[in-house]
Structure 1
Amino acid sequence: MIYPDINEIKKLAAHYTVIPVVKTVLADTETPVSVWLKLFKKEKYSFLLESVVGGDTVARYSFLGGDPFMTFAARATSWEINGALTDSGTTDPIGRLRSLLSAYQSPRLSNLPRFTGGAVGFFSYDSIRLWEHIPDKNPKEDPLDDIFFAFYKDLIAFDNKEHRLLLISNIVVTPDTDLDAAYRQSLYNIGVMEDKMAVRLMSHSISVEPQSEPVSNFAREEFENAVNKSKEYIKAGDIFQVVISQRFAVKVNADPFDLYRTLRVVNPSPYMFYLSLGETAVVGASPEMLVRIDDGTIEVRPIAGTCRRGKTEKEDDELVRVLVNDPKERAEHIMLVDLGRNDVGRVSEYGSVHVEEMMHIEKYSHVNHIVSNVYGTLRSDKDIFDALFSCFPAGTLSGAPKIRAMEIIDELEKVKRGLYGGALGYIDFSGNIDTCIVIRTIVYNQGTALIQAGAGLVADSVPSREYQETVDKASAQFSAIKRAAEISGTN
Structure 2
Amino acid sequence: MILTSLSEIEHDGCYLFNCIPSGRNSGFKVVRYHSLVIDPGSLPDDLISIAWTASPNLLSYLESDQTNVSTFLGSLDSNFMAVSLEHSIGGGELSNISNGNGSESDSSRVIMAIKHSSRPHYGVQFHPESVATHYGRQIFQNFKKMTRDFGLRKSCLQERKVHSIGKLEKSQVKSAGQCGSASKDLLHTERLELLEPNGSRMLAKRALGKKCLRLRWKKIDNFLCPAVGSEDIFAVLFGHQSGEDTFWLDSSSVDQLIRDTVTFDAMNKPLNNRARFSFMGGKGGSLWKQMTFHLSGQRANCGGTLTTRDAYGSTANNFIKEGFLEFLNKEIESIRYNEKDYEGLPFDFHGGFIGYLGYGLKVECDASSNMAKSSTPDACFFFADNTVVVDHSNGDVYILSLHDELSSSNGDGICGNSTHNSWLLETEKKLLRLGATPPGLLINGKAYAISSNVTRQSFVVEKSKDQYIRDVQSCLDYIRDGESYELCLTTQMKRRVDYINALQLYFKLRKQNPAPYAAWLNFSSENLSICCSSPERFLRLDRDKILEAKPIKGTIARGRTPEEDECLRLQLKYRQVEKDQAENLMIVDLLRNDLGKVCEPGSVHVPRLMDVESYKAVHTMVSTIRGTKKANLSPVDCVKASFPGGSMTGAPKVRSMEILDSLESSPRGIYSGSIGFFSYNHTFDLNIVIRTVILHNGEATVGAGGAIVALSNPEAEYDEMMLKARAPTKVVEDCSQTIYSSDQLDSMQATTS
Normalising by the residue count of structure 1, what TM-score does the alignment of the two structures yield? Answer: 0.88
State the match for 1:148 in structure 2. 380
State the match for 2:482 in structure 1. 237
CA distance in 2 between counterparts of 1:102 and 1:418 reads 28
Name the amino acid aligned to 1:32: S
- 1:56 aligns to what SS in structure 2? helix
- 2:414 aligns to what SS in structure 1? helix
State the match for 1:301 in structure 2. 550
Note if 1:349 corresponds to 2:600.
Answer: yes
Pairing 1:206-245 to 2, within 5 Å after superposition: 207=447, 212-245=457-490
Name the amino acid aligned to 2:325: I
CA distance in 2 between counterparts of 1:49 and 1:265 reads 15
Note if 1:177 corresponds to 2:409.
Answer: yes
- Percent identity, please: 26
State the match for 1:287 in structure 2. 535
Give yes or no for contact 2:358–2:378 (8 Å, CA) kept in 1: yes
Cα distance change of structure 1 residues 412 and 364 upon mapping to structure 2, 3 Å threshold: farther
Give yes or no for contact 1:441–1:451 (8 Å, CA) kept in 2: yes
Cα distance change of structure 1 residues 98 and 207 upon mapping to structure 2, 3 Å threshold: farther
State the match for 2:220 in structure 1. 25
Name the amino acid aligned to 1:276: N
Give yes or no for contact 1:262–1:483 (8 Å, CA) kept in 2: no
Pairing 1:70-219 to 2, within 5 Å after superposition: 70-76=289-295, 77-82=304-309, 84-87=315-318, 90-106=321-337, 107=339, 108-140=342-374, 142=375, 144-174=376-406, 177-178=409-410, 179-182=413-416, 184-197=418-431, 198=433, 203-205=443-445, 207=447, 212-219=457-464
Give yes or no for contact 1:78–1:85 (8 Å, CA) kept in 2: no
CA distance in 1 between counterparts of 2:256 and 2:692 reads 19
- 2:335 aligns to what SS in structure 1? coil
Give yes or no for contact 1:247–1:450 (8 Å, CA) kept in 2: yes
Note if 1:464 corresponds to 2:715.
Answer: yes
Name the amino acid aligned to 1:290: F
Give yes or no for contact 1:367–1:473 (8 Å, CA) kept in 2: no
Residue 466 of structure 1: CA displacement?
0.7
CA distance in 2 between counterparts of 1:230 and 1:159 reads 44
Name the amino acid aligned to 2:501: D
CA distance in 2 between counterparts of 1:322 and 1:175 reads 56
Residue 55 of structure 1: CA displacement?
7.5
Give yes or no for contact 2:408–2:417 (8 Å, CA) kept in 1: no
Note if 1:377 corresponds to 2:628.
Answer: yes
1:66 is aligned, of 282, 286, 290, to 282
Note if 1:37 corresponds to 2:204.
Answer: no
Cα distance change of structure 1 residues 194 and 242 upon mapping to structure 2, 3 Å threshold: same
State the match for 1:246 in structure 2. 491
State the match for 2:687 in structure 1. 436
Name the amino acid aligned to 2:248: L
Name the amino acid aligned to 1:314: E
1:394 is aligned, of 645, 655, 669, to 645
Cα distance change of structure 1 residues 375 and 319 upon mapping to structure 2, 3 Å threshold: closer
CA distance in 1 between counterparts of 2:564 and 2:528 reads 42
| Cα distance per residue 1:218-267 (max 9 Å; x no partner) | 11111000000011111111111100111112444321111111111111
State the match for 1:5 in structure 2. none
Task: Answer with 269-278 or 365-374: which moved more.
Answer: 365-374
Residue 486 of structure 1: CA displacement?
7.2
CA distance in 2 between counterparts of 1:20 and 1:129 reads 35
Residue 133 of structure 1: CA displacement?
4.2
Cα distance change of structure 1 residues 486 and 364 upon mapping to structure 2, 3 Å threshold: farther
Give yes or no for contact 1:303–1:333 (8 Å, CA) kept in 2: yes
CA distance in 1 between counterparts of 2:565 and 2:508 reads 26
Give yes or no for contact 1:208–1:258 (8 Å, CA) kept in 2: no
State the match for 1:3 in structure 2. none
Give yes or no for contact 2:554–2:580 (8 Å, CA) kept in 1: yes
| Cα distance per residue 1:296-346 (max 9 Å; x no partner) | 100001212234555666388358626843112112211111111111111
Give yes or no for contact 1:55–1:269 (8 Å, CA) kept in 2: no
Task: Answer with 145-154 or 45-54: which moved more.
Answer: 45-54
- 2:228 aligns to what SS in structure 1? coil
CA distance in 2 between counterparts of 1:274 and 1:157 reads 15
Residue 87 of structure 1: CA displacement?
3.3
- 1:174 aligns to what SS in structure 2? helix
Pairing 1:467-478 to 2, within 5 Å after superposition: 467-478=718-729
Residue 151 of structure 1: CA displacement?
0.3
CA distance in 2 between counterparts of 1:202 and 1:265 reads 16
| Cα distance per residue 1:264-285 (max 9 Å; x no partner) | 1111111011111112110111
Give yes or no for contact 2:600–2:627 (8 Å, CA) kept in 1: yes
CA distance in 2 between counterparts of 1:163 and 1:207 reads 30
Name the amino acid aligned to 2:553: A
1:270 is aligned, of 516, 521, 524, to 516
CA distance in 2 between counterparts of 1:398 and 1:316 reads 32
Name the amino acid aligned to 2:523: L
Name the amino acid aligned to 2:323: D
Residue 410 of structure 1: CA displacement?
0.8
CA distance in 2 between counterparts of 1:338 and 1:218 reads 31
CA distance in 1 between counterparts of 2:665 and 2:570 reads 33
Give yes or no for contact 2:532–2:693 (8 Å, CA) kept in 1: yes
Name the amino acid aligned to 1:297: I
CA distance in 1 between counterparts of 2:254 and 2:228 reads 24
Give yes or no for contact 1:344–1:391 (8 Å, CA) kept in 2: yes
State the match for 1:7 in structure 2. none
Give yes or no for contact 1:426–1:435 (8 Å, CA) kept in 2: yes
Residue 186 of structure 1: CA displacement?
2.1
User: Which protein is bigger by CA-based radius of gyration?
Assistant: 2
Residue 383 of structure 1: CA displacement?
1.3
Name the amino acid aligned to 2:397: L
CA distance in 1 between counterparts of 2:245 and 2:389 reads 17
Cα distance change of structure 1 residues 89 and 347 upon mapping to structure 2, 3 Å threshold: closer
- 1:158 aligns to what SS in structure 2? strand
Give yes or no for contact 2:387–2:401 (8 Å, CA) kept in 1: yes
CA distance in 2 between counterparts of 1:115 and 1:288 reads 19
Cα distance change of structure 1 residues 213 and 319 upon mapping to structure 2, 3 Å threshold: farther
Give yes or no for contact 1:308–1:472 (8 Å, CA) kept in 2: no
* More strand per residue: 1
State the match for 1:454 in structure 2. 705
CA distance in 2 between counterparts of 1:46 and 1:477 reads 21
Residue 202 of structure 1: CA displacement?
6.1
Relative contact order, higher structure (CA 8 A, sep 6+): 1
Cα distance change of structure 1 residues 335 and 84 upon mapping to structure 2, 3 Å threshold: same
State the match for 1:12 in structure 2. none
Residue 360 of structure 1: CA displacement?
1.1
| Cα distance per residue 1:121-159 (max 9 Å; x no partner) | 11101111123343433353x4x2101110011111123
- 1:233 aligns to what SS in structure 2? helix
CA distance in 2 between counterparts of 1:488 and 1:86 reads 36
Cα distance change of structure 1 residues 182 and 236 upon mapping to structure 2, 3 Å threshold: farther
Residue 483 of structure 1: CA displacement?
5.0
**Equivalences, count:** 473
- 1:57 aligns to what SS in structure 2? helix
Task: Answer with 330-339 or 172-181: which moved more.
Answer: 172-181
Note if 1:314 corresponds to 2:581.
Answer: no
Residue 21 of structure 1: CA displacement?
0.9
Name the amino acid aligned to 2:530: V
CA distance in 2 between counterparts of 1:46 and 1:131 reads 28
State the match for 2:96 in structure 1. none
Residue 287 of structure 1: CA displacement?
0.9
CA distance in 2 between counterparts of 1:109 and 1:303 reads 33
Structure 2 unaligned regions, length at least 5: 1-210, 259-274, 296-303, 451-455, 745-753
